[in-house]
Amino acid sequence: MLLGVDTGGTFTDFVYISEEGIRIHKVLSTPSSPEQAILQGIAELGVDNESLLIVHGSTVATNAVLEKKGVRCCFVTNHGLADMLTIGRQARKELYNLNPAPEEPPVAAELCLETGGRVSASGELIEPLTNAQLDDLVAQIKQLAPRSVAINLLFSFLNDEAEKRLAAAMPAGVFVSRSSNVLAEYKEYERGMATWLNAYVGPLVEGYLTRLCDSVKAAAVSVMQSSAGTIAAEQAAEQAVRMLLSGPAGGLMAALHIGEMAGYKHLLTLDMGGTSTDVSLLDGAISLTNEGKVAGYPVAVPMVDMHTIGAGGGSIASVDAGGLLCVGPESAGASPGPACYGNGGCRVTVTDANLYLGRISPQYFLGGKMTLDADACDKAMTQLASELACSPIEAARGVIKLANEHMARALRVISIQRGIDPRPYALMTFGGAGGLHVCALADALGMTTAIVPVYSGVLSAFGMLAAPRSRELSRSFVVPLLEAPRGELAAAFSLLVEQGQQQLQAEGVPLAKINTRYWVDLRYLGQSYTLALVWGSSAELIEAFHQLHKARYGHRLELAVELVNLRVSLSAEMAKPELLKIPARAVAEPLVPEKSDGLAVYRRELLLAGDIIEGEALIVEQVATTHLAANWRCEVDERGNMILTLNQ
């Protein structure tokens, strides 16, 4: 029996698959102790814990970074480099602001420590790590009493002996993260940030997963990684930095899986939850990036390529000092939540605005299991309208319009700003709030097709069950491509593959089921940034790089191409959940809507293959609502997905 769990900022979603079929569930999250919501959901589903295979998307690492609530951590590096993370790349967020507000450094100066063990860019020892230096460093660590230590020595990806000695000497009970294990690549700042982030959230992830595994007592617990593959919970804490986009990655995996079954490979995806909205672009595969950021920090480990904004159903509407309406990024979260939840929230959110406009039916919210407080919603909306000097209905429309513009702008960032015309794509929306905005967002981008997939309100949890077991490994190998020694490259690739195979086999994956792909990062000689291509012959790679560079940046250069990083991607496909075909409606059985405040209301679970809905309507289901605009048409496909098309 399989259970996919996605812990979000507002709700925790469940998709349970057994021989009897698929069941979905949703409960309010418990941010202070996320495992409690999971235990509650399992209990309400009434399933046998001991026979469960759980795949879990966790926000523990993400929230700790966003809220700057990681553990006390020491950063250890070579002499003269203690301020590495503070200086960074000296990039300014506001280019023309001559007096920017000072930012708090990632690690306080007193926690940044220096030692020996420095090697050169060719891996040769420059300054040895002496026993006296090691003893002195350990004494400082004991005095500072951190919960974790991040070790990042120069060029340790070429020679990691000093890092290993440092790690072995750390006091018992201290979580240790070393750069040669987290990210064996050049660029000491990015490698240092990844190593520090891993140490910053590692003990929290380790503690949470231990409590979860001890509490649920399931047959196995896996965790979704940012690269859209899973890892055993027992191994996840060591690579906590690879879980920063754990939940959103599940949504993309499900979108890819369902899109293929529905006949749509080219998708713009929008995952709108209670706290944030994630957008991405899929061209038959999930794109990964090594240039992602979380809370402004660069995260150089592979993660799904997406853009995230602070706009969700729980985003709070406010009026700024100039009297203008603002929506987000502050969220009401799960506690107190939107005003209409009746938990003490008194400020208007996007959910309240949708309820006020009649786009959420209280009768069907969460399948009728959660009562909405319309009076609290009215009171909050009246207060906001008073501040804006307009009517409550105008205030509600303004909140929705502004929220839509925030999300449309995010969709443009992932498409138009990369030179991609979104109009031939289909917009797939999911998350608890996505369906309420799908038509308006498609209109804003000139798109004529949208998809609200089956289980859209819990799609990220569904995607957890479609994800493969995987590992992404890399190491730097900087050399002009035409001069690259093929024998040494083959040996380096083999070491990475062997390491990944051992990790997957430790999770019980048979060697015969592991698929391996080889990638390289290339750049023009003298550039700082790279493009990733599938490994092949030098001549093919050079021409492919020229073409990709021109497509991405609009030009190609007559310069030598340099190899920078080697990458291997190992995956073992799991049995993906099947979506059974649903029956078609009999000719003599008309599709009859229910009514709600003048809008036609359809219950999604009663829709059959081939059903068509035209005109403004609400389509309600247990965990989501879709608002069909007047100029759009909805047709249900053979697996229950709703295909929306613009009436031309």
Boundaries of every domain in the chain: 2-61+220-236, 73-205, 247-309+414-457, 315-357+371-402, 469-570
Q: Which residues pair with 222 in a beta bridge?
A: 55, 232
pLDDT digits 0-9 by tens, 504-514: 998 888 999 99
Q: Average pLDDT for residues 109-137, to the nearest whole number? A: 94
Q: What CATH number matches the domain at 73-205, 3.40.50, 3.90.320, 2.60.120, 1.10.10? A: 3.40.50
Q: How many beta carbons lie within 10 A of that of residue 110, not counting itself?
A: 9
Q: Would strands 11-18 and 2-7 be described as parallel, antiparallel, or unpaired?
A: antiparallel
Look up residue 561 and give its two tokens: 């191409």
3-state SS class at 344 = coil
Q: Do domains 2-61+220-236 and 73-205 have the same CATH topology?
A: no
* Residue pointed to by tokens 């069941």: 23
pLDDT band at 293 (very low <50, low <70, confident <90, very high): confident
Burial state string for 373-396 with b = 16 or more CB within 10 A and e = fewer than 16: beebbbebbebbbeebeeebeebb
Q: Kindly tell me if the per-residue pLDDT of 645 is higher than 90.
A: yes
469-570 CATH choice from 3.40.50, 3.40.1620, 1.10.132, 3.30.1490? 3.30.1490
Residue 7: which of 29, 32, 33 has the closest Cα? 29
The bridge status of strand 53-57 relative to strand 220-224 is: parallel
Classify residue 572 as exposed, middle or buried by CB count within 10 Å of its CB (0-12, 13-18, 19+). buried
474-504 per-position pLDDT tens digit: 999 999 999 999 899 999 999 999 999 999 9
Percent of the chain whose pLDDT exceeds 90: 53
**What is the average per-residue pLDDT within 543-552?**
91
Q: Give the mean pLDDT of 83-103.
A: 86
**Cβ distance 631 to 447 under 8 Å?**
no
Answer whether residue 367 shows pLDDT above 80.
no
- 196 CB contacts (<8 Å, ≥6 apart)? 73, 75, 85, 106, 107, 150, 152, 177
Cis ω before 329 (30° cut-off from 0): yes
Q: Assign 625 to helix, strand or coil.
A: strand
CA dihedral 308, 314, 315, 317 (to 10 degrees): 170
Dihedral, 556, 557, 558, 559 alpha carbons, nearest 10 = -130
Residue 272 has pLDDT above 80, yes or no: yes
| Residue 88 in this model has a pLDDT that exceeds 80 | yes
Position with higher pLDDT, 330 vs 137 = 137
Least confident range from 50-59, 137-146, 539-548: namely 50-59
User: How would residue 28 be classed by pLDDT, with cut points 50, 70 and 90?
Assistant: confident
pLDDT tens per residue across span 33-87: 888 888 898 888 888 777 788 898 887 888 788 778 899 999 999 999 999 999 9
Q: What is the pLDDT of residue 597?
A: 62
pLDDT digits (tens, 9 = 90+) for 414-425: 998 888 899 999
Q: At residue 622, does pLDDT exceed 90?
A: no
What 3-state class would DSSP assign to 126?
strand
What pLDDT shows up at residue 102?
83
- CATH architecture assigned to 247-309+414-457: 2-Layer Sandwich (3.30)
Cα–Cα distances in Å, from 141 out to 146, 154, 176, 456?
A: 7, 20, 12, 48
Give the pLDDT confidence score for residue 387 in this predicted structure. 92
With a cut of 80, say whether residue 310 has pLDDT above it: no
Amino acid 637: pLDDT: 93
Instruction: For residue 116, name the pLDDT band (cuts at 50, 70, 90).
Output: very high
Which pLDDT score is estimated for 596?
A: 62
Whether 197 shows a pLDDT value over 80: the answer reads yes
* pLDDT on residue 515: 94
Q: How high does pLDDT run on average in the chain?
A: 89
Q: How many CB atoms lie within 10 A of CB 320?
A: 8
Please report, in angstroms and rounded to a whole number, the separation of the first and last CA atoms in the chain: 45
Asked whether the predicted pLDDT for residue 384 surpasses 90, the reply is yes
Across 316-324, average pLDDT: 89
Would you say 259 and 291 are in contact if contact means Cβ atoms under 8 Å apart?
no
Determine whether domain 2-61+220-236 maps to CATH 3.90.180.10. Answer: no
Per residue in 64-86, is it b (16+ CB within 10 Å) or e — as a string? bbbeeebbebbbbbbeebbebbe
Both tokens assigned to 255: 């979108």
Closest CA to 134 of 107, 148, 156, 114: 114
